[in-house]
Structure 1
């Protein structure tokens, strides 16, 4: 019956608590934004070089996701493959110390094909031509994140948070849990490793040996954490697009999304002086959390070309209805000065939760101006209804629900406006491309005085021949983020780590025409 207690205790520690957060919110409102928000332009090498545009461009595999009407512009069949290299960097400040971190990895970005179908009808004198069906497998979102921070804290320790969570619970409850190994929350985990202890005259109140009898820190605390997130979303789309007299293009399709998210973090605290014999010297908390699952969505769109040089288009992508499974593991180890005590280690019972997540609606509109055979300019706007995200679960333990998280989603998030623009120049078989993308801060109010807007700058080149095309795209993205390892009732007693994040993506695409 205590299994879900872990969820209500873990997430508040790793989230910044704002007035807009409902009291019983567990913390999945954070995950909802992570899974829904793009932090860089996606798509094929061609579309990424153009700032992630593609609503009106068409004849590209990314049309399957962004606007299936673009498939109606494909005159030939094509098979496309893209391989990408991403480098993520972070410069993180915590209590006047800065740590730099970076890493790189290779990934298969996309694979798929477009097959034209030729059909016609005599109704109303209209002819259907250039109809195409396409299947694509595309990396539609990246969750990659990595940073480290370290600092000397003279105000508090995470053990203060554990004491706060334990207050009001009798020590014999924790004793029984430690004896049986049925540890379901962080307060009990800290008790089992002697990071917190009950007062002799009050078994429902707790202290940590990092504080003295006057409730002052016995010495400054060195705090350090390494934080790693891997994974992303892969989308499989099956779409169809066609045209009416090469003036009006329409298309529809459905997608199957697959989420793979893995978080690994190691938080450590060390007393900056030698502790007295048998007293607490240091402790560490290791968290391993994974979220996996899949969902389905559908999309449809149109492109209208009133004259040869101008196009206007729009598309709608429905929310993706996901069924997700989260597995969470936590382990704590404490060391003590002297030789009487060996390091104390305890592990929480692995927790699992199956839940449903409904992502936002996405509405796109765009224009394209063709400069004859010399290239084109395209600009787009996208509305993402973050406030409409929804979470639910069939689990019914001690009244547990995600209703408070849903109310928090409505309190925190708004409909965001994202903007993209791209310019392609052509000369012979060569293509040159530039683009820019702006992702608006999804929060209703500015939090922490931090600008959470994201900017991406893109560019690339291409070689286009009768039978093939090779495209290279380079994307640079920069944004800021804040991470709070734990909170306390008094906000003056804890700190947050602020990161300047950067992502450099290089994508090579090969297309064969048939």
Structure 2
């Protein structure tokens, strides 16, 4: 084994071995898919100034105020998710196809009067799938000597002793009867509070080793040289949104609304990463990570027609932060097969054997940023509806707190690497007859995270063993749709093509002496094809 020169990308001291989520965990639950009714999706989600669609309850609540009759609708469809990865010329493709129940809701419209200032008072409820996590991903390729084992070695090298000093200074700290390799449970023992779980697992399975001088002082902590690596993940679950609305129509020109949003998170990821090492050795690291949560927010909005006899209108909406109470559960198993001298030695380190209940449980709070929406729209010739809107969220203002409201270590990474996100949506609907309409839309969302961001496990989430991370780039979606409107029944269909790119890293390879990344990124192309149907009744 040869030691590789590495430079730590961030210097920082652990105040404790706290479980603390990172910027990638926060980013997963920020933003939303363009999803809801087929009419809404067919117009690219651009309906915030036009209103009169159930899905506007979650973008501009005043949109419900344009209803003049009752409405009931439900939506369902199919999603085909595809990922394409290219790691140093090695290409892999994965796909996952699933049916989906996407929306159900109703509007109860109450007419107050024709000549009163208040014309209609409306109440509404709508459920929709805010984020769909169902997808698979795979990547593999040559490592040119780089390896996850060197990240594990850096974790051991930087582990603290609780007093601000380095913990592993003598070989006895590593090999001794009370050392890391012989500890009964280094994951729950306070003595090892500064040792990251991933580093400890690597050391206890032979992937991290030390060298010492004649006095027993450690002079080197090192890993193995990697030949090639392969990663696979499968994600399931969703963020579900339940919206309760009240809205007003004032003189058919001013519309106001408020929506109370309730959120439910159910997310599960299984991942497996393996490497072939020098000398016919290898290892496989399997991680299971689950998040559950509930949240609440308030959305308020208005739509105004500034000119009495003109269909032109503009909309404004403000969404308060979503206050999430979250619970994470995760565990890991590491299996190694090491060719040492004339024999092969195998090790298995399973965190289920050490953690209460077989998994690490961590409760915390996630507070999303404020969201602001501005929209304009009009109707041309009585047959064409147009809407354009802009939305902004400052992702760097996201907050991570423990259950008592104390800021987590990952907060600094959020401020430094997450960005203000700009979203643009445009949509069009044109009547081709009294009963049928065609629709089209486009959605753009800017890059949410800096390109040089990375997952710093020792500083942000000491108990985590999933080293992989993805730096997302901008996201786009194009959509088309058809609609039928009868006297009572209506039906809509929409197709949406959603696509975005990113740079994936199976682990943090660090930098060389020139400041260049030792591990090149896996170039990722993700796309989703969605076919959506809505059936409704207005009366």
Pair in the same fold by TM > 0.5? yes
Secondary structure in 2 matching 1:64: helix
Matched, 1:84 2:77: yes
**1:459 aligned to which of 454, 466, 480:** 480
- Relative to structure 2, which stretch is displaced further, 144-153 or 91-100? 144-153
Give the distance between the partners of 2:54 and 2:123, measured in 1 at CA: 10
Secondary structure in 1 matching 2:153: helix
Aligned to 1:369: 378
**1:421 aligned to which of 423, 426, 447:** 426
Aligned to 1:58: 51
Shift of 1:205: 6.1
Cα distance change, pair 196–178 in 1 and its aligned pair in 2 (3 A): farther
Is the 2:369–2:393 contact (alpha carbons within 8 Å) kept by the matching residues of 1?
yes
Is the 1:34–1:143 contact (alpha carbons within 8 Å) kept by the matching residues of 2?
no
Shift of 1:333: 0.7
Is the 1:166–1:206 contact (alpha carbons within 8 Å) kept by the matching residues of 2?
no
Matched, 1:228 2:234: yes
Cα distance change, pair 174–511 in 1 and its aligned pair in 2 (3 A): same
TM-score by length of 1: 0.85
- Relative to structure 2, which stretch is displaced further, 106-115 or 181-190? 181-190
**1:130 aligned to which of 99, 107, 120:** 120
Pairing 1:287-306 to 2, within 5 Å after superposition: 287-305=287-305, 306=307
Pairing 1:174-189 to 2, within 5 Å after superposition: 174-177=180-183, 185-189=197-201
Is the 1:77–1:114 contact (alpha carbons within 8 Å) kept by the matching residues of 2?
yes
Give the distance between the partners of 1:473 and 1:132, measured in 2 at CA: 27
- Relative to structure 2, which stretch is displaced further, 201-210 or 298-307? 201-210
TM-score by length of 2: 0.81
Give the distance between the partners of 1:18 and 1:119, measured in 2 at CA: 64
> Matched residue pairs, number?
474
Residue segments in structure 2 that go unaligned for 5+ positions in a row: 1-7, 158-166, 190-195, 455-470
1:237-276 Cα distance to aligned partner (Å, 9 max, x none): 110111111111111120101111212110001247x63x
Shift of 1:60: 1.2
Shift of 1:196: 2.5
Give the distance between the partners of 2:480 and 2:375, measured in 1 at CA: 20
Pairing 1:395-410 to 2, within 5 Å after superposition: 402-410=407-415
Give the distance between the partners of 1:406 and 1:308, measured in 2 at CA: 48
What is the alpha-carbon root mean square deviation over aligned residues?
A: 2.8
Cα distance change, pair 310–341 in 1 and its aligned pair in 2 (3 A): same
Shift of 1:189: 1.1
Cα distance change, pair 179–313 in 1 and its aligned pair in 2 (3 A): closer
- Relative to structure 2, which stretch is displaced further, 467-476 or 198-207? 198-207
Aligned to 1:72: 65
Is the 2:237–2:268 contact (alpha carbons within 8 Å) kept by the matching residues of 1?
yes
Secondary structure in 1 matching 2:369: coil
Give the distance between the partners of 1:130 and 1:22, measured in 2 at CA: 58
Shift of 1:101: 1.2
Cα distance change, pair 179–368 in 1 and its aligned pair in 2 (3 A): closer
Pairing 1:334-483 to 2, within 5 Å after superposition: 334-337=336-339, 343-348=346-351, 349=355, 350-394=359-403, 402-426=407-431, 427-443=433-449, 452-483=473-504
